[in-house]
Every structure is written in structure tokens, then in C-alpha cells.
Copies of this chain bind each other. A is one copy, B any other.
């Protein structure tokens, strides 16, 4: 839209024409940061049309009871969107706006001095086992290059290999994930409450489910790789059946293929990547997961990537297309925010799998929600800062959230908190602590 000539080189094939390898997707939760970025480029309506609002966490307890926990204030919600549907839509919209996409181009090397990238043209990239390759490289010239190629970024690897002092960190959590499916009910309708993110919190693991437009739910089991209850131990149809019957009794009725899916779908791992620097003068930057891959437990991976774009866009205006200044500022602004959401996302895993099943934790959330309704300027729960307050930087949300959490820790230790949580005394205590 600014008149730049943009080409995208993509390792995979065009998913709009090819069959995808299944079972590796966690549905995305589009929230206010992502929406703000889409709004700025005029795409928000098209993306909202393929999204399903989720107003609350719908918590399935092990005893068969359930409870809901609103995500924010009345009227605030997040949006379930299928990764594949979103990708296809964004590609259509990009092409309609003049972007050219080259598929099956695998980045082999980058020469920053001569500003060229060399690609290997590959076939069947979506099926890694049948991949055949063509040794001939195709070299293209660039003026400005973005490494927007995800957690295992080939551009980042080239950047790192040609960097004398590159700070780099990759951290795998000890859980992996497995995709399962809940099908529509006999009437062809959603088998559970549609406008919710369903969670079966089980302390060391959890199952979640997000709604799709076709009335299925994409379920994801987050589960340890090793240990008593783990992917390495639960490895036969019988063990899977036992394990699910004990832990997810209400869900298995809705998942006719869960045993087969569990045994056949791939087990994927979850990595956090932090690195620095992200840029090279006025000619290169990492962006999105390539700069800051995070785990999915805050629902912020895509939102953070879209926010990168919004900030970059604002800096193009601010610095009048002086790319030296734009990229320098982009990196200084976004690096602390990328680090902050990475840490919050890891912490939120513990909250989701463990604490959402805990009555005291749910009470704490209630107290915070009440404060938020009454004093929306003074007390914004950490989750709301990240999810519904796109103008609060992630790094500020982390700091404010930590302060609020330490206040709430003390409040929750009060002996009779269950009976006095709505009292003025508690309210005053909390608000006073905020000023210390």
C-alpha cells in the first residue's frame, strides 16, 4: 500500500492447492493486539468473518462438573480462528494487493554485502518424507529483507552464522502436544458450548478445545514427554483408553477417533526462542516468530507478530522511510516486548493446566475482575492487559502484572478471604498497596 514491490518466498507449497499434512495445528486465538494491526491495514472485517468469539474459559473438572471464567469485562472476548483458513485468507488478500508469492523456495544462503538470497527450488515440501530436490539454486536481489519465517527461521540461521557475537537462546518446555478432534453432534451442531475456549486442567497436563467454522472443535492435549503419565508411557490403545477414561470422561464421548488420533497424529514440541540483534543496518530484520518464538499458552504468538507489523508501520511514518532509523527503533522497541511475552507465555502454561482447576485461584480472578469493573484505570488484570489493552506494552504488562500478583498473594492469604472478598476493607487494602 506504500508502493513497495513485495515478494514472499515460502518454503512450503501453496496450501490453497495442496493437501496439508494434518495434526500439527493449534487453533489461533485472535485478540485485540492482532485486531488493531488488522484494522490499521483495513483487513479486520475479512478476518472477523472467519473467526468465532470465545467469551470465557469453560473449565471441565475431573468430577464431571464445569465452571466458566470470563476472559475480561462484559463484551470482551477473544476469537478462535483456524491457522489454515487464516493463512489462506491472508495470502489471497496479499496477492489481491499486488504481493507476489513464490512457493517451494527453500532459503539456502543470504549474502548481505551483495544483497542476494539463494533458494533451492523444492517439490512436495509439505510432505517431508517424499521431498525431492533440485540442486540448482536460484539467486534473487533484495533492497530490504524480512526474515518472517517462523520459530525455525532459515533467515535467522544465516544471520547467526554470519554474526560474530549473536545472542541466542532456545528453550523447550518438557511438554509436547497432540491434536485430536471433536466432531459435530448428531444434529450436525457444535457438540459443546461454541463461544468458549474449553479447558480440562489436570495439573501436569491439560486438554483444550477451540471451535471451528465447520462445527468441529480442534482439541490439543498438552502432555509431558517423559514420566509416569507421558507420551513415552501412554503408548498403546489400551493405555490411551484408560488414561482418557480417567481424565477426560466427558470429552471422549465427543471424540470418536481419539485413540487412533492419539496413536497416529504427530507429537509436536514447544519452543521459546530469544535472540539479538534482530537487524542489519537498513537492509534486514527478523520479525514475528523468527525474532521471538513463544509457546502458545497466552494466545499471543500471532498477535505479537501482527503487533510487530503495526509498530513497524508506525515507524515507517515516523522516520519518513529512513530504514536505518526505522529498523533501529523497531528493534529497541520490540526486543523487550518480545522477551516479556515469551516469559509470560511460559508462566501461563502453569496457570492454565494447574491453577484453573483451583477454587482459590478462581476466587482471586473474581476479585481482580471485580476491581477491573469498578476501577478500570487502576486495576487491569495481567491477562486483560495482554489480551484487551493493545496500547499497554508487553514489557509494561509484565511489570504491572508482577506487582499486582504480589499484592494478590498477600490478600489471598487472609484467613476469611472467601467471606470478605467483596468488602470495602479488601478493596481499600488492595488499592493502597498499589501506591507503595
Please list the residues of chain A having a beta carbon within 8 angstroms of any beta carbon in chain B: 164-172, 225, 269, 271
Contacts and interface: CB of A to CB of B under 8 A. Distances in A.
Given A166-B172, A167-B171, A168-B169, 4 more contacts: A165-B225, A168-B170, A169-B169, A169-B170
A269 B168 CA distance: 15
Contact of A269 (B165, B170, B171, B269): B165
Contacts of A172: 165-167
Contacts of A170: 166-169
A58 B172 CA distance: 45
A-side interface mostly: strand
A157 to B, nearest CB: 11
A166 B168 CA distance: 13
A171 B164 CA distance: 12
Contacts of A164: 269
Q: Give the number of times this chain occurs in the complex, counting copies.
A: 2
A230 to B, nearest CB: 13
A281 to B, nearest CB: 14
Question: Which of A165, A166, A170 has its CB near the most chain B CB atoms (within 10 A)?
Answer: A165
A225 B164 CA distance: 12
A110 B170 CA distance: 22
Contacts of A269: 164-165
Contacts of A271: 165
A400 B164 CA distance: 36
Q: Which 9 A-B pairs have the closest CB atoms?
A: A165-B172, A169-B169, A165-B269, A167-B171, A168-B170, A167-B172, A164-B269, A167-B170, A168-B169
Contacts of A171: 167, 169
A168 B168 contact: yes
A324 to B, nearest CB: 16
Contacts of A165: 172, 225, 269, 271
Nearest to A163: B172
A169 B172 CA distance: 11
Contacts of A225: 165
A171 B167 CA distance: 5
Contacts of A169: 168-171
Question: Which of A166, A172, A271 has its CB near the most chain B CB atoms (within 10 A)?
Answer: A172
Contacts of A168: 168-170
A247 to B, nearest CB: 24
A172 B172 CA distance: 21
A168 B168 CA distance: 8
16 contacts: A164-B269, A165-B172, A165-B225, A165-B269, A165-B271, A166-B170, A166-B172, A167-B170, A167-B171, A167-B172, A168-B168, A168-B169, A168-B170, A169-B169, A169-B170, A169-B171
A226 to B, nearest CB: 11
A225 B277 CA distance: 14
A277 to B, nearest CB: 11
Contacts of A166: 170, 172
A153 to B, nearest CB: 15
A264 to B, nearest CB: 19
A363 B41 CA distance: 61
Contacts of A167: 170-172
A164 B271 CA distance: 11
A68 B134 CA distance: 68
A164 B269 CA distance: 8
A220 to B, nearest CB: 18
A170 B271 CA distance: 16
A250 to B, nearest CB: 32
A330 to B, nearest CB: 19
A167 B171 CA distance: 5
Nearest to A170: B168
Question: Which of A166, A170, A225 has its CB near the most chain B CB atoms (within 10 A)?
Answer: A170
Nearest to A168: B170
A156 to B, nearest CB: 13
A167 B225 CA distance: 15
